[in-house]
Every structure is written in structure tokens, then in C-alpha cells.
Chains A and B, each alone.
Chain A
Amino acid sequence: MTRGFGLCLIMLAVGLATAGPSWAQIPSGTPSDLFRDDVHAQAGLTCDSCHGKATGGEYRSIARTEIAPLCSRCHSDAAYMRRFRPQLRVDQYAQYLTSTHGKRMSSGETRVATCSDCHGGHGIRPVQDARSPVAPPRVATTCARCHSDAARMSAFGHQDNPPADWGKSVHAKALLERGDTSAPTCSTCHGSHGAVPPGVTSVALICSQCHVREAELFRKSPKKALFESLGQAECLTCHSNHEIEAPADSWIGLKDPALCSTCHDDSVKGAADIVAVQEGLQRLSVGIDRAQRVLDRAEQAGMLVDEGRLVLRDAHERQILARVTVHAFAAKPFTETATPGVAEAARAEAIGTGALQELQFRRKGLAVATVLIVGFLVTLWVKIRRLPPIEP
């Protein structure tokens, strides 16, 4: 008896230790316990709604291939869904059938995802609920349950680990560290119910959903036609796909490790433009850093440099715009944006320097005043000492 109990404990511990993300994402418990918090229970649905009538006190299990068609019975019925959530889309199943998951599932491959794999089976919560496995901050972990499982994915010829790569990206930092739910996760680029890897020609369109100005500049640039002719996936060529780093000014240049140097050297036609952009970015960055340091010093010394901060903010905004303008792949528009930024950074620095000079003036003034005051105090002291003594 004791040995049996010990074995159970060990199995439970091993189960918990190896369950990983699936255990963390999908709430655990008996189906009836989980269903109490389910959005469907709140809408008045019961076990019978999905499983049909129980036979001999037991409900029949639903085959994986039957799950999506079963869900679609309600979720594709606009008239029915309007009673609960009039805003909810009803094309999920149609989209699913176009997805890689849906196509494979339709062909009988049950190892691919269906509705319950992402949403859960009995404890389904609305996407807006932060506890839902498909809430934006949790989407990547949900996808990772399969897409980071090398054994499972090798069966489909996938060797990489996109969720882990995304986890290192600037987008993951924005979403998970800063809580910026506008930052993209897996479903933002791949779609959710109709998830497929975007084709080479679609990538730029997908990125341009958020990076509108960059895409606009790129489309008008000579690189657009060039990349198309080379069959390169535009944005991905420099930024990669999942492990997208925060872009750095050092990416621009003709020498290693600059990204441009992968294709360009100083003999090519656009080399002068690359150098102009590189130098412009450096001037802006150096100017802003210097102004920042001077303003910080002045502020730490107790000087009010609000005006300098405002001007520096303008310079920062110019820097952001200039970095965006890099996507025009031409020196002229870049210089037109960056040059005022350099001037604003210089003005902010001048305000900081002025504040520090004012501080020095104050301190010198204080030194002079102190000398005068001390002289007056000494005179007073001498006068007090020379006063006639106090008589009792």
C-alpha cells in the first residue's frame, strides 16, 4: 500500500516536472471542475452540448478530427453566435481549413493542432482574459508546446525552434517585458486560425501592418525591384524573421560587422550614400549622447534644464525618423531628416553647457560673497571683543 502510494507520488512529481509548458498553459483539473469557469458554461451550455447524451453515466470522447467540425457547429453560425457575442467572427473554421494545421487534420494527420490544443478543452476563457492560453502574452508559449518540441516537429520536417527565436526578439521584449500588447506575437504575422508561414512576397506586407513608414519608403526605393529579382524576402534580408533584434546604427556601413557590408563594399555605386547615412546616424547619436550627458550633469547639480530636455526630445524624434528614413536607401531624404536633429542636439547641449556655466558663475559669486561675509564677521568679532566688559 505504502509502496503504491510512493509510486503515485513519484509519478506525479515526474509528471509535473516533465509537463512543461502544456501543464503551465492549459488549466488542469477534472473536466467538470474546469468547465465551471468555461465561457461556454457561462453562456448556458452543458456537457451534453458537445458530448451528446451520456450513455451508462459516461460521455463519449470526441475524436481529434471531429473537434474542429464540432466547434464550428456553433462558431460558424452567425445567427446563433449573435445571441452571445455579436462582434465575434464566425469564419474561424473556414480559416482553419486553409491553415497548415487544418489541411493536415482534414487529411487525417491528428498530430497537428486543433481548437482544443490552443484554447483548452473544458476551461476555455475569452481571448481578452489574461489567463487564456491565447491571450497575446501567452500565445508564443502555447505555440511552443508543439513548435518547440523537436521530436514532434521533426516528423513534419521542421528543424528550427521559432518560438524560442521569437523569445529573443525585440517584439518579445516589448510584449513580455514592457507589457505592450500591440507588439506582435506568432499569430500577428502567421494568423491564428488560418496559420501558415507567410510567403516571400507576403512578408513585407505583413511587416508593413505596423511598420507603415518603413514599408512605404522601401517600396519607393531601388531595393524593392532588386530584392524581388533576387527572390529575397525584403524585410527578412536584414532583420531576419523570428529573432528580430533591435536595429542598431552599426548595421549601416561598408565594413564588417555592418549589415550593408554583406553585399556592398566601397567599390559599388551606392557606397557614398551608405557612408553618408552611416556618418549622419553617428553624428546624431554622438550629438544626442553628449547633450544627454551635459543635461544630466547640469540637472544633478540642481540646475533646471527643462528647455534643454524639450529640445533633446525633438532631437530624439528626429533620430527615430532618420532611422526610419534609412529604408529609402538614399542619402538625400536621410540627410534632410537627420541634419535638423543634429542641430537640435547641439542646441540642447548648448543649453546644458550654459546651465553648467551659470552654475560656475553662481559658485564663484558665492565664493566672493563668502569672502565678504567672512570679512564682515571678522570685523564684527573684533568689534565685539573690543566692547567694554559687562559689569555685574
Chain B
Amino acid sequence: MMRLQAWLEERMPIARFVEAVRHKTVPQHRFSLWYFFGGMTLFFFFVQVVTGALLLLYYRPSASEAYESVAFVMTRVPFGWLVRSIHAWSANLMIAAAFAHLFSVVFLHAYRRPREVTWLSGVLVFFITFAFGFSGYLLPWNELAFFATRVGTDMAGAVPGIGEAVVHFMRGGKDVSGATLTRFFGVHVAILPALITALLAAHLLLIQHHGMSVPPSIEAAQRKHGRPLPAMPFIPHFALRDLFGWTVALALLAGLSAYFPWELGKKADIFAAAPAGIRPEWYFLWMFQALKYMPATVFGMSGELLVLVPVSVGALALTLLPFLDPDTPRSRRIVKTLAGLALALMTTMTVLALLEGSS
């Protein structure tokens, strides 16, 4: 055993890694709870990787077989229903956890120097998570997914000049078809996983390098009182608490999958008229609702553009936040207010869309 350890040590810096982890600490303050959401998002990502790999064993990415292969997984493959339901529920919970993580980082100003690159990698992971949701939604090739994808890809057509070409590229043709399914599948299982793995690795390494960020208000209070901030050892204190949270998440996933198995719906029919009540997944609902409220044209401008331009500007501002925020008390207040308003707007629009849907 000792010889094996020595053999490994010669080739890999295990002892240095173990030592670093042993000495890693997590600041302890009244906002420490928010540190857990990053780990929670990571947990759901791992669940996605495992269940996604299992689904790949049976899934067939073609318009004639996709629906049937998912139905086969749901009805014939032992515990296939569980794997698919966990994959679908975990995708949603991952996005919810990513939202909580992102907004907690914004509100606690954890993106500040020297964590600009950590933030950038995190925001890109966040956007890729959405791309995972959008591309994966179509894969069962059911009616709801088909028409929601048609509406979703249509939105790109509003971009002046290149919109039509972008839509054509996304769909692999004029309309959503088997070609769209095939390329969404490729994106979902090859391109996005490669990107997210690289970005996630960078994100995690940078977090280890910089350690957890302490909010400015806590730092100020600490300086004022001259007391050092309590720090929780990562191993075992924080890791066990993380494990506790992950276990609760696992129980939640199992319960949701057993009591609310993810529906498969009707097979997509590309010649059928769109059924009533078509809408995207909940995390795109706020934008969908905003588009619904917007008239087709406002002062000669496309209503779609009037929603898409502010959303794109907002996404860009979010990405560049550490470079836009000069990190002064005033700028932090402005960021908090804007983030609060954005969150309130998104929540209101989502609730309105859900209420409309249920009525």
C-alpha cells in the first residue's frame, strides 16, 4: 500500500492536493448558506451526466424513432422511467439552483476583483445550462417540445440581417424537422458537454485558488470590530453539510420522479396545427410572457426586437458585470437594485404566465 502510494505520489501531486484540501476553509457568516448553491448545481450536473449517459444507451436521434425510443425507455427498460424522470427533473432543479447561485453571487458581490474570470466562467456555464435545457427539450420529439422549439427558434429570426440565416442554421432547414432533432442531439450530447466540462473545471479550479468570497458588508464589519472572521474547515465540516444538502436533493428527485413522472405527451406531427397552450419550459416563461404583452410593432419597430434587444443587452451586462461595476458602495447599491428589479420582473412575468396557463 505504501509502495503504491509512493508510486502514485511520484507521478501525481496527491499529497499536495490532500494537504490543500485539508487546509481549505470556508468563511462563516450570516450569508454562508448561499455558498451551498454552487455545490448543489454541481450535484445536479453530475446527476445529469450519469442519467444522460444511461438514456443514451437507448435513445435514437431521428424523427421516426426518437419518441418511440423514449417510450421504450419509459415502459420497457427496467427503471428507465426513473432514469428519464430524474434526468428531466434534475435538469429543472439544476437551472433553479444555478439561478439561486448566480443571483446570490450578484447580491453578495462575489464577482469582484480578483474573481472576474471565475465569474465569466460561471456565467458561461449558466448560459450553457440554458442551452442544455433548450436542446434537450426537443429530444423526446413530442408535440409540446416540437412547437415550443418552433416558437423558440423563431425568436432568433427577429435579429436584423442575420436572423433568417441563424434560424436556418439552428433548424437545419426552413422549419423544425428531423434535421433539427439530429443537430440538437449533437449539440446536447457532444458540444455542450465538452464546453461545460472545460468551463466547469476552470470555474472550480479558480474557486479553489481564490477561496470563497466574503461579502463587502461582512468584510467592513470585520474590519470595524477587528475580529477575524470564523472559518469552517472544508473537510469535514463544509463537505458533510454539502453532502447533507445533496442527499436532500436526491430524496427530492426520487420523490418527484415517483409521484410526478415526467410526461411524454403525444408524438410530434409536423403537419398538425399547433395545439392550444404551447409554451416553453418555466425558465423561459418570463421572456415568452413579455413577448406576448408586446404588440407586433411599436413605432414601426418589431415588438420581438423590443424584448430581445433589452434581454440581450441585459445578458451582455451580466457577463461583463465585474468590468462594469467599479466596486464602490454606490455602484454596489446600483447593482443590487438592478438585480432586484430584474429578479422581480422575471418572477412576476413567470407567475403571470403560470396563472394564465392554469386558467
A binds B: yes
The contact string, 1 if C-beta is below 8 Å from chain B, for chain A 281-310, is 000000000000000000000111011000
- Is B258 within 8 A of A390, CB to CB? no
Task: A387 to B247: give the CA distance in the assembly, Å.
Answer: 19
The interface on chain B, measured as residues whose beta carbon lies within 8 A of the other chain's beta carbons, has a size of 31
Bound: A366/B230 CA distance, A: 40
Binding stretch for chain B, among A3-11, A229-237, A331-339, A370-378: A370-378
B window 59-110: CB within 8 A of A: 71, 74-75, 81-82
A16 interface residue per 8 A CB criterion: no
- Known contacts: A377-B244, A380-B243. The answer to whether A302 contacts B261 by CB under 8 A is yes
A391 at interface, CB cutoff 8 A: yes
Provide the residues of chain B in CB contact with A362, threshold 8 Å: 81-82, 258
- Given A380-B244, A384-B244, A390-B237, 15 other A-B residues pairs in contact with their CB atoms under 8 A: A302-B259, A302-B261, A303-B261, A306-B75, A366-B258, A373-B251, A377-B244, A384-B237, A384-B241, A387-B236, A387-B240, A390-B230, A390-B233, A392-B229, A392-B230
A302-B243 CB under 8 A given contacts A307-B75, A387-B236, A392-B227? no
Q: A302-B263, A304-B75, A390-B237 are in contact. Are A363 and B244 (CB under 8 A)?
A: no
Tell me whether B230 and A391 are in contact (CB under 8 A): yes
Nearest 5 CB-CB pairs, A to B?
A366-B258, A302-B261, A373-B251, A392-B230, A304-B74
B228 at the interface (CB under 8 A from A): yes
Q: Which residues of B contact A376 (CB under 8 A)?
A: 247
Q: List 12 A-B contacts (CB under 8 A).
A: A366-B255, A369-B251, A369-B254, A376-B247, A377-B244, A377-B251, A380-B243, A380-B247, A384-B244, A387-B237, A387-B240, A390-B237
For chain A, give the interface size range.
20 to 34
- A:335-392 near B, CB below 8 Å: 362-363, 365-366, 369-370, 373-374, 376-377, 380-381, 383-384, 387, 390-392
Interface string of B230-252 (1 = CB under 8 A from A): 11110011001101100110110
CB closest residue in chain A, given B85: A302
Which residues from chain A sit less than 8 Å from chain B, CB to CB?
Answer: 302-304, 306-307, 362-363, 365-366, 369-370, 373-374, 376-377, 380-381, 383-384, 387, 390-392
| Distance, CA A369 to CA B247, complexed state (A) | 11
Binding site for A on B (CB under 8 A): 28, 71, 74-75, 81-82, 227-233, 236-237, 240-241, 243-244, 247-248, 250-251, 254-255, 258-261, 263-264
Chain A residues whose C-beta falls within 8 Å of the C-beta of B240 in the assembled complex:
380, 383-384, 387
A383 to B263 alpha-carbon distance, docked (Å)? 39
Q: Chain A's nearest CB lies how many Å from the CB of B82?
A: 8
Partner of A392 from B228, B251, B255 at Cβ < 8 Å:
B228
Partner of B258, one of A307, A363, A377: A363
Known A-B contacts A302-B260, A304-B75; the reply to A377 vs B247 at CB < 8 A is yes
A57–B228 Cα gap in the complex (Å)? 112
A381 and B240 CA atoms in complex are apart in Å by 9
Taking CB atoms, residues of chain A closer than 8 Å to B233 are 390
Whether A390 contacts B254 in the complex (CB less than 8 A), given A304-B74, A304-B75, comes out as no
